[in-house]
């Protein structure tokens, strides 16, 4: 499988498949395709995984695209302006991503929901208890609103983030939620009551835009909604 990410602020992902290769996405995730491609839509993993995907922001059903000819091309487009993150996952390697971040993946990559174990992280993390868990081996692709900034945290190194700006992180990264200190900071800081604390080792991917902020900005220009 070969791929190319095209564009700047509204990127697309172009994937070239050789005979027998397959890639899957949520229902409606494909933009266009060319060549002899067989489509197969299913629950992929049974009722439990279907419900888990629904809770983590994806559709109940997933569609697998398999190349039946010598070569085929298929293009995926994100739902919002932003970036595509390519992930080459080793066997057993897991990435934890925000809800609805999954774009597509090779057929042998596993997609499941991920529960935040800590009560504070679940209640105040900005996205609820449930995230997505993507496990290799194989290529997987995430779609993230805005630009992407990546940090490789060393052992014990900590990063504090507005929870809505967390796109994804390695499963080795410790995730928790901390209350902002100081009454003045809470009342007038504009960052809310809580910040996410990410501690290495591992990679962290942050997004510069959140869909909630974008929606709030656009609402000002909709008559009767500002």
Question: Residue for token digits 């487009």?
Answer: 77
Contact call for residues 86 and 139 (beta carbons, < 8 A): yes
Contact call for residues 134 and 106 (beta carbons, < 8 A): no
93 within domain boundaries: yes
User: How high is the pLDDT of residue 57?
Assistant: 55
Report CA Rg, the chain.
19
**Given pLDDT bands bounded at 50, 70 and 90, which one contains residue 211?**
confident
Q: 169, 163, 152: which is closest to 210 by C-alpha?
A: 163
226 within domain boundaries: no
Give the range of the structural domain holding residue 57, as residue numbers without chain letter. 2-219
Contact call for residues 83 and 146 (beta carbons, < 8 A): yes
Tokens describing residue 180: 């902002």
Residue 149 has pLDDT above 60, yes or no: yes
Residues 114, 112: Cα–Cα separation, whole Å: 7
User: How high is the pLDDT of residue 59?
Assistant: 63
Residues 78-97 have pLDDT tens digits of 888 899 999 999 999 999 99
224 within domain boundaries: no
Residues 30, 202: Cα–Cα separation, whole Å: 31
171 within domain boundaries: yes
Which three-class secondary structure state does DSSP give residue 188?
Answer: helix
User: How high is the pLDDT of residue 186?
Assistant: 44
User: How high is the pLDDT of residue 27?
Assistant: 73
Residues 154, 145: Cα–Cα separation, whole Å: 26
Residue 108 has pLDDT above 80, yes or no: yes
Which three-class secondary structure state does DSSP give residue 34?
Answer: strand
**Given pLDDT bands bounded at 50, 70 and 90, which one contains residue 49?**
low
Q: What is the pTM of this model?
A: 0.83
Residue 68: in which H helix or E strand, if any?
A: none
225 within domain boundaries: no
31 within domain boundaries: yes
Residues 159-205 have pLDDT tens digits of 999 888 999 999 999 988 876 654 444 444 445 567 889 999 999 99
186 within domain boundaries: yes
193 within domain boundaries: yes
Which three-class secondary structure state does DSSP give residue 88?
Answer: strand
Question: Residue for token digits 């190349």?
Answer: 67
CATH number of the domain enclosing 95: 3.60.160.10
Contact call for residues 140 and 205 (beta carbons, < 8 A): no
Residue 57: in which H helix or E strand, if any?
A: none
Tokens describing residue 129: 């208890």
Backbone φ/ψ region at 182: left (φ over 0), alpha (ψ -120 to 50), beta: left
Residues 6+ apart with CB under 8 A from 86: 3, 5, 139, 140, 141
What total of structural domains would you count in the chain? Answer: 1
């Amino acid at each position: 499988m070969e791929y190319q990410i095209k564009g700047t602020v509204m990127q697309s992902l172009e994937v070239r498949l050789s005979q027998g290769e397959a890639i899957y996405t949520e229902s409606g995730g494909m933009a266009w395709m060319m060549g002899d491609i067989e489509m197969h839509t299913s629950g992929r993993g049974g009722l439990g995984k279907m419900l888990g995907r629904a809770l983590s922001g994806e559709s109940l059903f997933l569609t697998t695209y398999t190349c039946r000819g010598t070569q085929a091309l298929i293009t995926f487009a994100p739902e919002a302006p932003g970036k595509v993150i390519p992930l080459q996952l080793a066997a057993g390697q897991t990435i934890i991503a925000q809800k609805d971040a999954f774009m597509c993946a090779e057929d042998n990559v596993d997609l499941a929901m991920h529960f935040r174990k800590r009560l504070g992280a679940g209640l105040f993390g900005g996205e609820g208890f449930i995230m997505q868990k993507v496990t290799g081996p194989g290529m997987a692709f995430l779609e993230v609103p805005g630009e992407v900034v990546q940090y490789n945290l060393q052992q014990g190194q900590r990063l504090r983030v507005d929870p809505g700006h967390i796109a994804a992180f390695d499963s080795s990264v410790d995730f928790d939620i901390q209350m902002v200190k100081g009454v003045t900071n809470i009342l007038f800081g504009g960052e809310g009551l809580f910040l996410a604390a990410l501690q290495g080792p591992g990679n962290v991917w942050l997004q510069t835009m959140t869909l909630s902020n974008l929606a709030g900005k656009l609402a000002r220009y909709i008559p009767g909604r500002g």
